[in-house]
Amino acid sequence: MQMPARMLTQDAAIDNRRVQRQRASENTAGRANRIFDISRYGCQIESNDLADGASGQFVEIDFGTIVTRAIIRWSDRARLGLEFARPLGSREVDTLLAEQAPIRLRRL
């Protein structure tokens, strides 16, 4: 059974823009999908897989140890701004920054 994602209210979304984002490592040789920055609420990635992604489209992101769903909030060629359907925990963000696992994306 698929559960609908709960989207943030306008006030909560504005507050989330103020969340400290952390830059991902630049060591991304050989990876088709790359994280530019990440916070508990979303990330900015580059993906050749979803270069034609439309705002409002749902995707599943497989970070290796963490799999989550997100909505595309904006796209500019191969760069996408994603809002996680459910915020990640601080430890999960730290784990994603520490590991260099390939990222896999899938349209839902």
Tens of pLDDT, residues 31-82: 457 788 899 999 998 887 776 768 899 999 998 889 999 999 998 888 899 9
Give me the pLDDT at residue 3, please: 45
- Residue 42 bridge partners (DSSP): 83
Whether residue 26 lies inside any domain: the answer is no
What is the domain range of residue 89? 31-107
Coil/strand/helix, residue 28: coil
Beta bridge partners of 22: 38
Q: Which pTM value belongs to this model? A: 0.68
Q: Is residue 76 part of a domain?
A: yes
Q: Is 6 among the domain residues? A: no
Count of CB atoms within 10 A of residue 43's CB? 26
Give CA 7 to chain center in angstroms.
Answer: 15
What per-residue confidence (pLDDT) applies to 59? 93
- Distance of alpha carbon 1 from alpha carbon 44, whole angstroms: 29
Total domains in the fold of the chain: 1
- What's 70's domain CATH number? 2.40.30.20
Report the distance separating Cα 4 and Cα 58, nearest Å: 11
For residue 72, tell me if it sits in a domain: yes
Q: Would 101 be classed as within a structural domain?
A: yes
